Structure 1
Amino acid sequence: MTIYKSEAGAQLLRERYLETLRAWPVPHEEVRVPTPEGETFVLVSGPAEAPPLVLLHGSGSNSGEWTARLPSLAGRFRVYAVDVIGEPGMSAETRPPLTGDRYARWLDAVLDHFGVARAAFLTSSFGGWLALDFATRRPGRVTALALRCPIGLGPMKKGFVVKAVLLALFGEKGRRKSVAGVLGEPETSPIVDHQLLVSANYRYRTGPFPLFDESALGRLTMPVYAVAGAEDAMVDSATTKRRLEAAGAVVDLVPGTGHYIPGEADLAFLTRTAANGDFTA
């Protein structure tokens, strides 16, 4: 089954993404990488000799999510913004099971294509799950993790699903209220508008995301920093903080904030880690 609800919807989302790519804020190269899970679209920017940094966006998104961050990141790192497979970007629509190591082997192929033996990761939401999965399976290839509202640590809040279903009964107004509540953004926010467009045309994953057990978290030998919204309506951020800190990570909970985290709280961590020589290619 296609990840889009219609071909017209797929075309609409592609056109919106192409508009974003045409306005990409830094010089870059667009690379299509062959992998065992299909072609993967990667935007590469920043000095070739700089420390490598992989960006993994959230579910229902693509690398356009990082547009505002690119100027500061590409000035310090060799940035690989990866369109996650099975999401509404330019990569293959493949969706491997979340159990097993197929996503890890997919990321192996992406890194190998660019000759990157080890890299730091900056991630958002589902991208954080992917990076954690990779780091627990391939700790030698991950030099640092910067996680924004990661999933797979704290349980998903059941009330979120119930509320979303009830609000959907009120049509467009209800859906807007639901999305705004999850993101922690005003209903008039352009971010809410974009997510409504995506949800109208894209089929999100169904089913729970596996939680990482203590044994897996014990394999996180690299520096880890996470930031999450204290008022996240979707994920139990308090549990995320507790479990990551028990594994040696530094975690900040932002008061009055939902699943969308503005700003660059992770940049200082990444810059400091690179300056300390903790991650190199």
Structure 2
Amino acid sequence: MAIALKIVAWLIGAIVLIALLGWLALARPNIPYAKLEAKYASKTSRFVDLPGGVRAHYRDEGNPSGPVLVLLHGYGDSSFSWDGWSKALGDRYRVVILDLPGHGLTQAPKGYRATGDGYVALLEAFAEKVGLQRFALAGNSMGGGVAWRYATRHPERLDALVLDAAAGWPMPIGESPSLAFRILQHPAGRAVLKTIDNKPLIRQGLRGQVGDPAVITDAFIDRWAELQRGPGHRDILMSIDLGSAGSATPELVASIRTPTLIIHGEKDPLIPVANGRKFAEHIPGARIITYPGVGHLPQVEIPEKSAGDVAAFLAALPATK
């Protein structure tokens, strides 16, 4: 009996040691903001101080005299995934691309807790601070969820709304094709993801979310992974509470009166195209365009086509004073 107990204790100790060595091998420290800014900030990068100690990074691109188009990225992403749209739309529009707290080059204070309501309020504070009186608003995935909620609360600011594979409708738990999202559903998994090199999970997740994995380059993955290692970013990403703003309901989205375009990839494995059709069904007058063979990131997978559809939609709207 004593020998058996010793063997069990030795095995437990060996397992703990292996786990510790594995964690040490995978552990990655934060990357200082100065280093990230030196590598990723561009000549169009701007920074603005917002309530709650947030130093927000945004890019102000395109035609400075044109109508304003504000773009919001998805979960774990950054403003840089909109490069294709900025290039395609910049001749006509002033393109303003915001990094939400916990993402990109935006800095948030220690202990910052991101919520759906908080992101909506931060977008309003940002618009007020930089003087955006009226604008068109587009968002992908999580950013789309922020966008439609913003439209229900601040319609006076919006000329148009574009929902790009937007989040919001209740989703079944545990069905995500992304291993990272499945791990995020468990507290222990989130604790581990806050400290290790997530690049393999990011690679698997991103390439599994698009129609053609080749569009997700190694450089794209490297940037995504490095920006998530900004100080405090992983803490925010692992504790984010988007549900605080509430899920989409037919009654809620039916209150949106902003002219709305929905775009959605038909091969989106993360947010099914049926969810995009729900927005189109319940938002009065909304149009929907779906893309065969395209997944969760139309702005990355088919930037010229999706931007062209957005440009045509915006150009057909009545001029606003």
With structure 1 as the length reference, what TM-score do the two structures score?
0.77
After TM superposition, the structure 1 stretch with the greater mean CA deviation from structure 2, 151-160 or 75-84, is: 151-160
SS at match of 1:9: coil
2:51 is the counterpart of 1:35: yes
Query: What's 1:183 paired with?
Result: 210
**Which among 81, 84, 87 is matched to residue 68 of structure 1?**
84
**Which among 240, 254, 271 is matched to residue 311 of structure 2?**
271
How far apart in 2 are the matches of 1:71 and 1:162? Answer: 30
2:290 is the counterpart of 1:253: yes
Q: 1:62 to 1:216 in 2, by over 3 A?
A: same
How far apart in 2 are the matches of 1:179 and 1:46? Answer: 28
Query: What's 2:101 paired with?
Result: 85
Q: 1:54 to 1:39 in 2, by over 3 A?
A: same
SS at match of 2:83: helix
After TM superposition, the structure 1 stretch with the greater mean CA deviation from structure 2, 134-143 or 30-39, is: 30-39
With structure 2 as the length reference, what TM-score do the two structures score?
0.69
SS at match of 2:102: coil
Query: What's 2:115 paired with?
Result: 97
Residue 131 of structure 1 deviates from its aligned partner by: 0.8
How far apart in 2 are the matches of 1:14 and 1:230? Answer: 40
SS at match of 1:160: coil
Query: What are structure 1's unaligned runs of at least 5 residues?
Result: none
1:76-121: CA deviation from partner (whole Å, max 9, x where unpaired)? 11221111122242232533432xx433322221111222222101
Q: Is residue 56–residue 99 contact of structure 2 (8 Å, CA) maintained in 1?
A: yes
2:152 is the counterpart of 1:136: yes
Residue 150 of structure 1 deviates from its aligned partner by: 0.9
SS at match of 2:82: helix
How far apart in 2 are the matches of 1:267 and 1:237? Answer: 19
Q: 1:156 to 1:228 in 2, by over 3 A?
A: farther
Aligned residues: CA RMSD = 3.4
SS at match of 2:176: helix
Residue 63 of structure 1 deviates from its aligned partner by: 1.3
Larger radius of gyration: 2
2:41 is the counterpart of 1:21: yes
Query: What's 2:260 paired with?
Result: 224
Q: 1:46 to 1:279 in 2, by over 3 A?
A: farther
Give the letter aligned to residue 39 of structure 2.
Answer: E
SS at match of 2:59: strand
Give the letter aligned to residue 101 of structure 2.
Answer: I
Q: 1:142 to 1:162 in 2, by over 3 A?
A: closer
Q: 1:179 to 1:224 in 2, by over 3 A?
A: same
Residue 184 of structure 1 deviates from its aligned partner by: 3.9
SS at match of 1:136: helix
How far apart in 2 are the matches of 1:85 and 1:194? Answer: 17
Q: Is residue 147–residue 225 contact of structure 1 (8 Å, CA) maintained in 2?
A: yes
Residue 178 of structure 1 deviates from its aligned partner by: 4.3
Name the count of aligned residue pairs. Answer: 267
Q: Is residue 50–residue 122 contact of structure 2 (8 Å, CA) maintained in 1?
A: no
Give the letter aligned to residue 115 of structure 2.
Answer: P
Q: Is residue 265–residue 292 contact of structure 2 (8 Å, CA) maintained in 1?
A: yes
Q: Is residue 51–residue 77 contact of structure 1 (8 Å, CA) maintained in 2?
A: yes
2:31 is the counterpart of 1:10: yes
SS at match of 1:225: strand
Q: Is residue 177–residue 269 contact of structure 2 (8 Å, CA) maintained in 1?
A: no
Identity %: 22
2:292 is the counterpart of 1:234: no
Residue 144 of structure 1 deviates from its aligned partner by: 0.8
- Point out the structure with the larger helix share: 2
How far apart in 2 are the matches of 1:107 and 1:147? Answer: 16
SS at match of 1:39: strand
Give the letter aligned to residue 292 of structure 2.
Answer: P
Give the 5 Å matches for 1:143-222: 143-153=159-169, 155=171, 158-160=174-176, 176-186=203-213, 189-190=217-218, 191-192=220-221, 194-195=223-224, 203=234, 204-205=237-238, 209=243, 210-222=246-258
Residue 135 of structure 1 deviates from its aligned partner by: 0.6
Q: Is residue 51–residue 279 contact of structure 1 (8 Å, CA) maintained in 2?
A: no
Give the letter aligned to residue 220 of structure 1.
Answer: I
